Chain A
Amino acid sequence: MIHILLSRWRQGYRTLRYPKELPPLPERFRGLPVVDAKLCPADCRICEEVCPTEAIVIDAAGPRIDLGRCLFCPDCTDACPTGAIHTTKDHRLATRQREDLRVGSGEELHLAQALDAELMQLFGRSLKLRVVSAGGCNGCEVDVNVLGTLAWDLGRFGIQYVASPRHADGILLCGPITANMELAVRKTYEAVAEPKLVLAVGACAISGGPFFRQSEQLGGAASVLPVDLFIPGCPPHPLTLLDGMLRLLGRLKQEGRLPTKAAK
C-alpha cells in the first residue's frame, strides 16, 4: 500500500491544463497545410501528382487541398519546388461540413460551429459516445483512447465513451467502413436513441483514407450515416480530436486557439 501511495506522489498531477493552455506540440508536428498560390510556378502540377490520396486538385486559383483526404504526410511539401505548400503547427482542423475541408490558397478553414440551441441543451454538458472501429488501421483508435487517459481526462468536459449504443448520444466512427462492417455500423447507429450525432474521425472515416480506391470499403462514414463533425488526420492528434469535440459543444471561445505569436 505504501508503495502505491509513494508512486502516486512521485507520478504527480499530470492532467494537461488544456484548454486554458495549449500543450507543447513537437517541432515537426504536421498540422494544417496551407497553400500560397502566388509562389506556384506556371503550369506546375507536382503536388497534385505526388499526392498519394488525390487530396490536391489544381484549378485556376491554384492548388486546393482536401483535408478530408490528406494523410498529413510530407510528400507534397517535400516535392514542392518553391515552398508554396507548407504545413503549419495549427492543430485545429475539424469542420461541420465535408465541403469546408477543401481549402484553397488564401482561404480560411471554417472550423466547426457549435450545435444548435436545442441539441446543445441536450448534449452540451454531457455527451456519451459509442466508438465504432470500421476498417482502419487502429491508429485513430490509439489516439481516441488516449483522450480517456488522465493526461487528457476527457471526462472533465462531460464527454465519455460508453459500452453500448443504447447508452450513447452518438457514434464516433473510425475507418473507411469496410463492406464487412456496413451492417454492424448501421445496426449500431439504429440502436442509438434520437436525436443522435455522428463524428467521423480520421482520413479513412472522411474519405476512405489510403484505401479510397479499394472496393472492399465504402469511402467513409458519410456513405452510410449523416455526419455531424469531420475530424481530419492520419490519425488526428489527440489535441485535434479534442478541439473538434469541444467546438461542437461550443466549449471553445478564445481558449484553445493558437497564441498569436505561433500563428504567424
Chain B
Amino acid sequence: MSGTLFAPCRNGQALPLKDVPELELASFQDEIIRAVSEGQRLACLCADAELRVFAVLAEDAASRLWIARTRLDRPSCPSITPQCPQAHLFEREMAEQFGITFVGHPWFKPLRFHDSWVEGRDAWGRTDPLEPGVLDFFRVEGEEIHEVAVGPVHAGVIEPGHFRFQCHGETVYHLEIVLGYQHRGIERALVGGPHALSLKFAETASGDSSIAHVWAYCQALEALAGVEVPSRSQWIRGVALELERAANHTGDLGAMAGDVGFLPTSSFCGRIRGDWLNLTAEICGSRLGRDWLRPGGLGKDLKPEVAWRLISRLSRTWKDTRDAVELLWDNASVLNRFEVAGRVDPIQAREIGLVGVAARACGIDLDVRKDHPFGPYASHPIETGKAQSGSAHSRAWVRWQELGGSHGFLSKAFEELTELSPDPRPPKLPSLAADSCCVSLTEGWRGEVLHLAVTDGQGRFARYKIVDPSFHNWFGLALALRGEQISDFPLCNKSFNLSYCGHDL
C-alpha cells in the first residue's frame, strides 16, 4: 500500500496517539474506500463521544494493519457504505452510540436499540422509550409474497434475535436479521477502565469465546503497560484457545448433523464437546476457561504433571471426535444436504468482509493466527482450514480441518509443557501508557476478534471497542439464505453459529 495516509501497526503494538495520523474527513474516507477496493479489510471503524473516528484496515496477505483517525466537527457526515459495504454496520453502530447521522446510508436503522451515549443527541431524533425490533424492515412486495417473523425467543436453547424472512412459497428472497436483545452495555461500561470488572466483561463479551476475547483484552493491556509475557505462558494461552476451538467445532459439527437428521454424529458430538470442555476445566477449574488468563500471564498455570496427565485424555477425546465426525463424510444423504445449502458467493463474501470459518469456507485465506501472529503462533504455526464453495459443507469441512490443526497443536504443547517448569505468577500490571492506543487481534473459533483500546491522558480507557467476528458475519448468514428454502434456515444458521451477545455487547 504505497502512498498511504494511514500509519502501519502490528497486532498487539502500543502506539502513541500522536503517531496515529489525524486526517481530514474526506481523505480519511477516500483512503478507506480505496484500500478496501484494493483488497484490504475494514477491521474496525468506531467513534467516541468527542466525535473522534478511528479506522483499522487489515492488509492480511502482507501481515500489516493500518490505523488512522479523523474528527467530525458536527454529528453528521457522508456515508461510505454505498461504496464500501463493509462499513454498513459500523456506521449504524456509530450512529446509535453517538448520535451521528450518516447521510446517504442506504439502510440507516438502529442496530441494538439503546439510547445514545450522548444525552439528547439521537441520530433518528427518537424521544419515546425504544422498542426493540421495531423498525422499517426491507420488504418484498407483490402477489403471493409473504413475510415470516421469528423471535426474539426461539424454539431451542439459544440466544434471542429477530429474523424477518421475505418469502415466495418456500423460497426466501431476503432475510433481515435484527439483534440488540442481548445488549447489556459492555462497551459503555469499559470507558474509564481498566477496573475490577473489565476482565469479566472481556470474558463475557461472548461467553463461548471467553479465551479469544480475554486474550485480546490481555494483549492490549500488556502492550499499553509495556509488559512481556513469558513464552511458556503464551504456549499455555494457545492451549486454552485451541481447546475452546476444538470444543466448539465439535459441537457445531454435531449440531449441523442434527439439523439434517443424522443422529449418530449429533449425539456423539454433543457428549464429546463436553469432553473438550472438561479438558479446559481440568486445567483452570472452569469449563469455559474463566479466570485462566490474566493480564501479564496466566491466572491458572498448567503444571507439568497435569500436562502429562492430559496427554492420554487428549488422545482419547480426539479418537472419539474423529470417529464421530468421519461418519459425516461417509454418508451421501448428509453430504447432499450440506453441499447444496447456504451458499455464500465468494465475491460477495469479500465485499462484505466475512472473517473466520465463514470466510475460509469461501476460499478467502484469512486467519489471524497466520496473518497477524500473536502469542505462540509465530513460532508454532498451526494448520488452518480452507474450502472453496462457500456452502454449509465448506463451513463444516473447514471446521473439521481446523479440529485436526488444534489437535496437532495441543498434543505438541502438552508434550513440551511436561518439560517446562511453571512461570512465576504475573505481578500486578503497571498503569497503562497515556494518550495511546493498541489494536489487539486474536482468532477465536468463529473468526477474528478485535479489541481496540484508546487511553486518555491518565491512561484510562477513553474508548474500548470490541469487534466480535459475528459482527462481520451476520450479514453473511442473510446472504446465505437468499434463494434457499426457509426449512433450511436452521442448518444455514448452525453452519455459521454466530454470537448474538458478541454482536450486541
Q: Which residues of A contact B (CB under 8 A)?
A: 3-4, 7-8, 10-11, 14, 26-30, 50-53, 71-75, 131-146, 148-151, 161, 163-164, 175-176, 178-181, 183-184, 188, 209-211, 213-217, 234-235, 237-238
Contacts and interface: CB of A to CB of B under 8 A. Distances in A.
Nearest to A14: B271
Given A26-B278, A184-B160, A73 B288 contact: no
B206 A137 contact: yes
Contacts of A183: 132
B320 A11 contact: yes
B465 to A, nearest CB: 17
B183 A141 contact: no
Interface residues of B, number: 64
Interface stretch (B9-17, B27-35, B322-330, B391-399): B322-330
A29 B291 CA distance: 12
A210 B197 contact: yes
Given A51-B196, A178-B183, A211-B204, 19 more contacts: A11-B324, A28-B282, A28-B284, A71-B290, A73-B291, A74-B291, A133-B158, A135-B182, A142-B207, A142-B277, A145-B157, A150-B270, A164-B155, A180-B114, A180-B183, A213-B189, A214-B185, A216-B114, A217-B184
A2 to B, nearest CB: 10
Contact of A149 (B181, B185, B264, B267): B267
The 10 A-B residue pairs with the shortest CB-CB distance, nearest first, are A137-B207, A139-B207, A28-B285, A149-B270, A163-B155, A137-B204, A216-B185, A52-B196, A180-B132, A210-B200
B268 interface: yes
Contact of B210 (A26, A134, A139, A209): A139
Nearest to B210: A139
Contact of B184 (A74, A142, A161, A178): A178
Contacts of A214: 184-185, 188-189
Contact of A52 (B197, B264, B283): B197
A138 B208 contact: yes
Interface string B268-294: 101101100110011111111011000
A178 B157 contact: no
A51 B180 CA distance: 29
B170 interface: no
A137 B501 contact: yes
Interface in B401-449: none
Contacts, number: 183
Interface of B: 112-114, 130, 132, 152-153, 155-160, 180-186, 188-189, 196-197, 199-201, 203-208, 210, 264, 267-268, 270-271, 273-274, 277-278, 281-288, 290-291, 299-300, 306, 320, 323-324, 327, 330, 499-501
Nearest to A151: B271
Nearest to A188: B153
Contacts of B204: 136-137, 139, 209-211
Nearest to A140: B207
Given A143-B287, A235-B207, A132 B184 contact: no
Contacts of A234: 290
A133 B160 contact: yes
Contact of A163 (B113, B156, B285, B324): B156
B180 A180 contact: yes
